[in-house]
Chains A and B, each alone.
Chain A
Amino acid sequence: MKKKDKLETVEADAVVMKESMEKEHLSRQERQAQYKLLMDTALLAGQIMLKSGAETYRVEDTICRILQTSGLETAETFATVTGLFVTLADPSIDAITQIARVSEKQSNLSQVYDVNDISRSLCGGKITVQEAYDRLLVIKKKQEYPLHMVYIGIVMTSSFFTLLLGGGVLASCLSALNGLCIVLCRHITGKVKLNNFITDMLSSFIIAVGTMFYAHMIHNSAIVEITIVGSIMPLVPGVAITNAIRDTLQGDYLSGGSRAIEAFVIAACIAVGIGVGLAFSTVVIGGSML
Chain B
Amino acid sequence: MILQVIGAFLGVVGMSIVIGVPKKLIIYSGFVGAFGWWVYLMMEVQYPKLIILQAFTATMVVSLISHICARLLKAPGTIFLIPGIMPMVPGAGMYRTAYYAFKGNSTVASYHLSQTVQIAGAIALAIFIMDSIFRIIQLKKQWNR
- Which residue numbers of A lie inside 8 Å of B, CB to CB? 1-4, 52-55, 58, 107-114, 116, 120, 143-145, 149-150, 152-166, 172, 225, 228-230, 232-234, 236, 238-239, 241-243, 245-246, 249, 267, 270-272, 274-276, 278-279, 289
Q: Is B55 an interface residue (CB 8 A)?
A: no
Contacting pair B11 A144 (CB below 8 A): no
Q: Can you pick out 7 interface pairs between chain A and chain B where the beta carbons lie within 8 Å of each other?
A: A2-B71, A109-B19, A155-B14, A161-B91, A163-B10, A163-B11, A232-B91
Contacting pair B20 A144 (CB below 8 A): yes
Chain A residues whose C-beta falls within 8 Å of the C-beta of B138 in the assembled complex: 2-3
- Which residue numbers of B lie inside 8 Å of A, CB to CB? 3-4, 6-8, 10-11, 13-23, 25, 37, 71, 74-76, 78-79, 81-83, 85-87, 89, 91-92, 94-99, 101-103, 120, 123-124, 127-128, 131-132, 138, 141-142, 144-145
Interface of A is mostly: helix
The count of A-to-B residue pairs whose CB atoms sit within 8 angstroms is: 187
Sorted nearest first, the 3 A-B pairs with minimum C-beta distance are A156-B14, A163-B7, A153-B17
Q: How far is the CA of A236 from the CA of B88 in the complex (A)?
A: 11
Q: How distant is B77 from chain A, measured CB to nearest CB, in Å?
A: 9
Q: How distant is B109 from chain A, measured CB to nearest CB, in Å?
A: 10
Chain B residues whose C-beta falls within 8 Å of the C-beta of A229 in the assembled complex: 91-92, 95
Contacting pair B82 A153 (CB below 8 A): no
Q: How far is the CA of A254 from the CA of B6 in the complex (A)?
A: 39
Chain B residues whose C-beta falls within 8 Å of the C-beta of A158 in the assembled complex: 14
Chain A residues whose C-beta falls within 8 Å of the C-beta of B94 in the assembled complex: 232, 267, 270-271
Contacting pair A157 B11 (CB below 8 A): yes
Chain A residues whose C-beta falls within 8 Å of the C-beta of B101 in the assembled complex: 271, 275
Known contacts: A116-B76, A275-B101, A289-B103. The answer to whether A232 contacts B95 by CB under 8 A is yes
User: Which residue in B17, B82, B86 is a CB contact (below 8 Å) of A152?
Assistant: B17
Q: How far is the CA of A159 from the CA of B12 in the complex (A)?
A: 11
User: Which residue in B19, B23, B97 is a CB contact (below 8 Å) of A107?
Assistant: B19
Contacting pair A144 B23 (CB below 8 A): yes
Q: How distant is A87 from chain B, measured CB to nearest CB, in Å?
A: 25
